[in-house]
Each structure stands twice: as structure tokens, then as C-alpha cells.
Copies of this chain bind each other. A is one copy, B any other.
Amino acid sequence: MDQTAARPGRRRRPAAPTVQDVAVEAGVSPMTVSRVLSGAAHVRPELRARVEAAVAKLDYHRNENARSLRPGHRSGLVGVTITNIANPYYAELQRGLEEVAARHGRRILVGNSNEDPALERQLVADFLGRRVEGLVVVPSGGPDADHLQPAALGGVPLVLASRAVPGVDVDTVLVDDVRGAREATATLLAEGHRRVAFLGHRLSAFTGQRRLEGFRLAHAQAGVPVVDELVRVGQQDAASAQQALTALLELDDPPTAVFSANNRNTVGAIRAIAARAATGGPPVRLFGFDSFELADLSPVALSVVDHDARELGARAAGLLFERLEGTVPRAPARLVELPVVLREHLRDR
């Protein structure tokens, strides 16, 4: 125990073991040692075992931080801010990011902004202070985006994921929000619905704007007026979405169909519609943006605009590493829009 407690001091001694020491101990090349330490694939298991044994015996710890301070060396860190890890969509996005980062020998620093622009600003400053090599931000969509401008990032590349930020000209990966919302809404109008509710998150969130745009576009193309009293935005969680739709369903002339613009709003809508049905209310048609686990087992008929959050995270990381590894260091900002797939009447599958 005392010995253990003494170790942190010992790690800082000049006599600390080197990669060379580990290589000699393991009887492998220093390259093999660093490939094992960086988690590279394709290292023969027996070699990996010998290196790990030597690392343990010598109590060797590679000092990534020291490496990051030497000119030309990298910190090996990518800073990631997401808006709400409790939303399974963002957990999948993080998973895709981390998998690609790991393949490039990087680790991700993760922070939740909870949709709070001030917290997002702090996270970015904190990550820069930790010398991250790059940033992937799911922007919370505050009024002021100075902290995301290249000038504020000191040359650290940024990729925006899931949402763009007007005026911030950097690599961005989106899903095709407008098309998904337009086609889903068009489906409801084609079924004859004329009072279609819109449940959305904050409009300051770019996806919120784009999905409302698709909703309005479908109405315009069908020559059906949008019923403004049925448009409810600003619901950031399932509970507030449930409240919002419950209120709409209590109108004298309630909506007969609902387009919910993200999975938080869809989950709230399912609860509101199920509660209404339990009291003998008329069925309400629901079409949601984003799929989620058990969507196909929803107790109310449901269609969803599906897309691949894990792929979105992977693509965002891919764009970042193209910048970091010099494949496209000077290319202009790129916009990737991932396709959506409409999955209708999941309950009937």
C-alpha cells in the first residue's frame, strides 16, 4: 500500500522506464511496443501478451501528455460535446465517433452541454486547454457562435455533427432533415389528414428549423394550409412533449395526425396518444423523426423517419481525421447529408 502510494512520485523520476526498456524486456521492437500501447489492430496475440507483461513488470506508463507538448507530437485527444447523452440517438452517435477515433489511435473527451450554449462554450475552452487535436460538436444552437469560429479555435479543426451553425463554415454532417420531414408530412396529408400537429424541439436548434421547414414545405406542395395553433416547439424532453400534445388533443378541434420532429417528442407523443386512447379518445396518427428501440412495438400505430446515428458519428470523425492526417488539410468546408429512410406503420410489420 505504501509502495503503491509512492508510485506517482516514482513515475516522474528521470529513471522511469522507456519504450526501449519495455522492448528489450519483451524481446520485441520498440515499434511493436508502441503499436500495442496505441491499441493498434493486427498485433500477434503472443507479442501483445509479452509487451503487456513487460509493461506491467516495469510499471511503464507512456506519457502521452509529455509527447503532446513536444512540437510535432499529438495529444491523441479529440474533444466531443453532445447535447444530451440520455437521448439514445446521441449515445449511438458517440459510439460511432469513438470507434473511428480508436482506429486512429485517439481517445475522446466527452462533455454534455445539456443544450446549454454557455456550458458548450466552457467545454470547448476546456478541451482546447487540454490541447485536443480536434473537436466534434453537436451544437446547442445558442445565439452566439464565436467560440466555434476557426479564429477562436487556434487552428484546431472542428466538425459539426447532426446540426449546422449558420455562419460557422466548417465540415458538417447532417441527416437530410428537410426531406425526411417533408416526406413524412406529405404521407400524412396524402392519407387525408388536414389538421396535422407539429411537435418540435427548440427552433434555435438547426434541426428544429429544418424539420419545421420540411413540414411547411409538404403543406405548401399539397396546397394544404399549416394549422399554426397545432405547431408546438420548444419541447426538449419527452415529458414536455407529452404535455404539449395532451393540451392539443383537448382542443375542441384536435389534430387527427402528429408529426414529431425528434425522438424525445415522439416518445412524449406516444404517451399522450396512449393515455387518450385509454379514455376512449379517437386514434391519432403519428409519424416521428428518428427511430428508437422498441419503436416497432409502440402501443400506438407509428411510422418513423429513420437514419443511422452511429454512422453520423463515424462520418463526423472521418471528416476530422482527414483534416488531422493531412488528406484534405486545405479543402473548403464540406457538408455531408446522410440519407433518411421512411419506415411506415411499424406496428403492422
User: Which residues of A does B touch, CB under 8 Å?
Assistant: 1, 3-12, 37-39, 48, 52, 55-56, 59, 61-66, 68-69, 71, 75-77, 85-86, 88, 90-92, 94-95, 98-99, 102, 107-112, 118-119, 121-123, 125-131, 146-147, 150-156, 238, 267, 270-271, 274, 292-294, 297-299, 330
Contact (Cβ within 8 A) B111 A102: yes
Contact (Cβ within 8 A) B125 A37: yes
Contact A6/B69 with A91-B85, A102-B111 known, Cβ cut-off 8 Å: no
Contact (Cβ within 8 A) A128 B61: yes
Q: How far is the CA of A114 from the CA of B10 in the complex (A)?
A: 33
When distances are taken between beta carbons in the complex, the residues of chain B under 8 Å from A77 are: 109, 130
Contact (Cβ within 8 A) B98 A91: no
Q: How far is the CA of A92 from the CA of B55 in the complex (A)?
A: 34
Q: How far is the CA of A23 from the CA of B63 in the complex (A)?
A: 31
Residue of B nearest to A123 (CB): B39
When distances are taken between beta carbons in the complex, the residues of chain B under 8 Å from A146 are: 56
Contact (Cβ within 8 A) A61 B154: yes
Contact (Cβ within 8 A) B102 A95: no
When distances are taken between beta carbons in the complex, the residues of chain B under 8 Å from A274 are: 297
Closest 10 CB pairs of A and B: A62-B129, A7-B155, A91-B91, A65-B65, A7-B154, A64-B130, A39-B122, A8-B155, A110-B110, A4-B150
